[in-house]
Amino acid sequence: MLSFITSPLSHLLKWLPLGASPLDGLLQGLVGACGISVLGNLMRVHLFVEAESDENGGKQWTPARRSQAKTGLGGALWFFLVMGLLAVVGSRVASLVVLEFCLRAASAWLTAGPQRRRFVQQLLVQCQFSLGCALSCSLHFLHEGAPQRWLCLLLAAALSGFLAWQARRLQHHVVVLYKLHSSQRYCGVCISLLSSGCLLLPMLCRVLMLTFTVAGIASISIINKHFLSATEALRFWTPLTICYTLLVVYMQEEQHRQPTGQAILNTVVVRLGGLMVLMLTVGRWADVLHIFVCFLGEASCLIPTMDLLDLHPHRSLSQSSQG
């Protein structure tokens, strides 16, 4: 009877991420979820300050929009859901997600043209789950073989949790009190945002570029460890590079024509669907399961933040002038 129970359990564990222990996966997922939380809160701070600096943009931040930030029990459930999904996704599939986003970000940057600022904001919204995978891959790569790996990951989780808490406090403070404090000029945080808030978006871009650069190197190393020979690696990387280059170009053209939330969700299905077909060809069944987890992760990160895609004060100004 015991073997009847443990046999399916042992098969199930083979589908979970390859790592030293489940604790390592949970801590890596915690760091990734904290990184996503920091990015989302700082994006809301940036867009709110940008809207308040514009006489028409502030109207977009109605009380309903102010309450759309993830708070209370719903925010906690969202955080633990994302943490669990990142903990379950295997390092191999997480690495592919990171490399795919790097390719997509480079293509978007080169083809954005005069609307580069707007597409940068869209990329920041779209990169949330990819950022969690990037942090998870980087930690897996940097701490691989460490004698006290769990302690290193615990320290990283504590630091990332502190940063996420501070970013959440900043977002709440700005949304509630920025207008009053910036007019009265007696709050150092709000005065700093009033004078140099325009630097927040470039800072986020630089930090993300550094994060994905490290994660890209880690991802290539993680994926290559699964191959026994250069021929097998070439058989994997050749269709991946060709197919995803063509796929990314196609998706960028679609987003230029239809830069809406629905189009962005469609690109998620196309991207991960293409990755699933590739894994069915040259991957393993565990990778297919992890791609299904990535579907849930992308949806859990994108759907609650779709309102950020509609907050573009400069766009609203141009529309009002045309009207």
Mean pLDDT in residue range 292-302: 89
Distances (CA, A) of 3 to 10, 13, 14: 10, 15, 17
Residue 71 has what pLDDT?
Answer: 60
Name which residue leads in pLDDT, 5 or 179: 179
Residue 290 has what pLDDT?
Answer: 87
Residue 208 has what pLDDT?
Answer: 93
pLDDT at residue 18 tops 80: no
3-state SS of the chain is: CHHHHHHHHHHHHCCCCCCCCHHHHHHHHHHHHHHHHHHHHHHHHHHHHHHHCCCCHHHHCCHHHHCCCCCHHHHHHHHHHHHHHHHHCCHHHHHHHHHHHHHHHHHHHHHCHHHHHHHHHHHHHHCHHHHHHHHHHHHHHHCCCCCCHHHHHHHHHHHHHHHHHHHHHHHHHHHHHHHHHHHHCCCHHHHHHHHHHHHHHHHHHHHHHHHHHHHHHHHHHHHHCCCCCHHHHHHHHHHHHHHHHHHHHHHHHHHHHCCCHHHHHHHHHHHHHHHHHHHHHHCCHHHHHHHHHHHHHHHHHHHHHHHHHHCCHHHHHHHHHHC
Mean pLDDT in residue range 253-268: 64
pLDDT band at 320 (very low <50, low <70, confident <90, very high): very low
Name which residue leads in pLDDT, 162 or 320: 162
pLDDT tens for 127-160 read: 899 999 999 999 988 888 778 888 889 999 999 9
d(CA 224, CA 59): 51
Residue 122 has what pLDDT?
Answer: 79
Most confident of 11-20, 85-94, 132-141: 132-141
pLDDT at residue 85 tops 90: yes
Mean pLDDT in residue range 298-316: 70
pTM: 0.82
Nearest to 90 by CA among 226, 234, 213: 226
CA Rg value for the chain: 21
Residue 64 has what pLDDT?
Answer: 41
Mean pLDDT in residue range 181-206: 83
